[in-house]
Amino acid sequence: MDYSNNTYQLNNDHQENHHHQQNAPLENDHVMIGDALIAHAKLTQQDKERILALQKEKNILFGDAAKQLGLISDADLKKALSQQFNYAYVHEDSRQLNQILIAAHAPFSEEAENLRSLRGQLLTRWFDLGNKSLAVTSANVEDGANQLAANLAIVFSQLNKKTLLIDANLRQATQHKLFDVETKLGLANILANKQGSYQLTRQQSLPNLYILTAGTEVPNPQELLSKEEFAELLLDLEKIYDIILIDTSPLSLGSDVFTVAAKAKAAVIVARKDYTLAAKIQKLNLQLGQAGAKVVGSILQEF
């Protein structure tokens, strides 16, 4: 499936959509940009002098002058700006993260901007109200809730918020594949008391993002997720992290979602345009409420 043109829409019948837009920072420090470009694009001192001369002549930004001279590409400039303003994303040649994680590989794309818009709405509706945990679920495997949860975790971490992504889909775990991380010890092991201590995976290229994988495949996911230890674990983790996103199994694989969402206290429902049946969304919404979880909204994906 091609996820390069995803669009997202957060719907809630009882609340208005709010989106706080922040203007991009201005390129106001030519020395820092120049130094970053020299390091990234391997510009020589002579190149820098040519850029500064054109910048002065045309009264333009350092990066624009370098582009006009053909000394850097648009990708070089974006990389330098990301370094200057501490905006993390992976190098173009990185193959560690799955290409579906568009927020990491193409943070300046239209789809990444849509993800940031969705992030802003979730902050307004849930996280800015003092809440820390949110379950991400769907009716079907094909709705793509796992990919969306991963991309949302990335954009939250890019906001310099200490972000944790938990793979609570103990039936069909995927986050370890998307982020290419070890799966030997994870949530299932913690809940089964097979592992007294654990260490979360940290993404080197995304320093504010941590991942707790599903762990060992188990025959009794519902029983493990129902344990009080899961709620206690979340409370402990909420003392450490600013944002906790929990990827759950879809309704089509079982009823685990209700247990997880109830412990997280809230959930968002992911649906796929022209694929997910409205009746299934309505059923999931109703049952989440009955389980005691607040439905923050529904997210419509198009891909």
d(CA 211, CA 157): 11
252 within a domain of the structure (yes/no): yes
177 within a domain of the structure (yes/no): yes
d(CA 141, CA 251): 8
Q: 3-state class of 74 per DSSP?
A: helix
pTM of the shown model: 0.76
Contact call for residues 212 and 186 (beta carbons, < 8 A): yes
Buried b (16+ CB within 10 A) or exposed e, 155-187: bbbbbebebbbbbbbbbebbbbebbebebebbb
Residues 140 and 77 in one domain: no
247 within a domain of the structure (yes/no): yes
Residues 249 and 193 in one domain: yes
Residues 66 and 166 in one domain: no
Residues 275 and 166 in one domain: yes
Residues 98 and 167 in one domain: yes
Judging by DSSP bridges, how do beta strands 266-272 and 163-167 pair with one another? unpaired
Q: 212: Cβ–Cβ under 8 A, 6 or more apart, which residues?
A: 164, 165, 166, 167, 186, 187, 198, 200, 201
The residues with which 272 forms a beta bridge, in sequence order, are: 301
Residues 37 and 112 in one domain: no
d(CA 90, CA 108): 12
Question: According to the model, what pLDDT value does residue 36 have?
Answer: 64
37 within a domain of the structure (yes/no): yes
Question: According to the model, what pLDDT value does residue 130 have?
Answer: 96
120 within a domain of the structure (yes/no): yes
The residues with which 297 forms a beta bridge, in sequence order, are: 268
What is the number of domains present in the chain? Answer: 2
Contact call for residues 181 and 209 (beta carbons, < 8 A): no
Q: Which of 42, 57, 84 delimits the end of a domain?
A: 84
Residues 39 and 73 in one domain: yes
Residues 98 and 201 in one domain: yes
Residues 101 and 35 in one domain: no
Q: Which of 63, 84, 105 delimits the end of a domain?
A: 84
Q: 49: Cβ–Cβ under 8 A, 6 or more apart, which residues?
A: none
Question: According to the model, what pLDDT value does residue 48 have?
Answer: 84
Q: 33: Cβ–Cβ under 8 A, 6 or more apart, which residues?
A: 27, 61, 62, 63, 80, 81, 84
| CATH number of the domain that residue 296 is part of | 3.40.50.300
Residues 205 and 272 in one domain: yes
Q: Which of 48, 66, 84 delimits the end of a domain?
A: 84
270 within a domain of the structure (yes/no): yes
Residues 104 and 240 in one domain: yes
d(CA 211, CA 202): 6
171 within a domain of the structure (yes/no): yes
Its domain, for residue 66, covers 30-84
d(CA 33, CA 70): 16
Give, for all 303 residues of the chain, the pLDDT tens digit. 333 345 566 776 433 333 333 333 333 344 455 666 666 556 788 888 888 899 888 888 777 888 888 887 766 666 665 554 455 555 554 557 888 998 888 887 889 899 999 999 999 999 999 999 999 999 999 999 999 999 999 999 999 899 999 999 999 999 999 998 877 789 999 998 765 566 688 877 788 999 999 998 999 999 999 999 999 999 999 999 999 999 999 999 999 999 999 999 999 999 999 999 999 999 999 999 999 999 999 999 988
24 within a domain of the structure (yes/no): no
Residues 74 and 177 in one domain: no
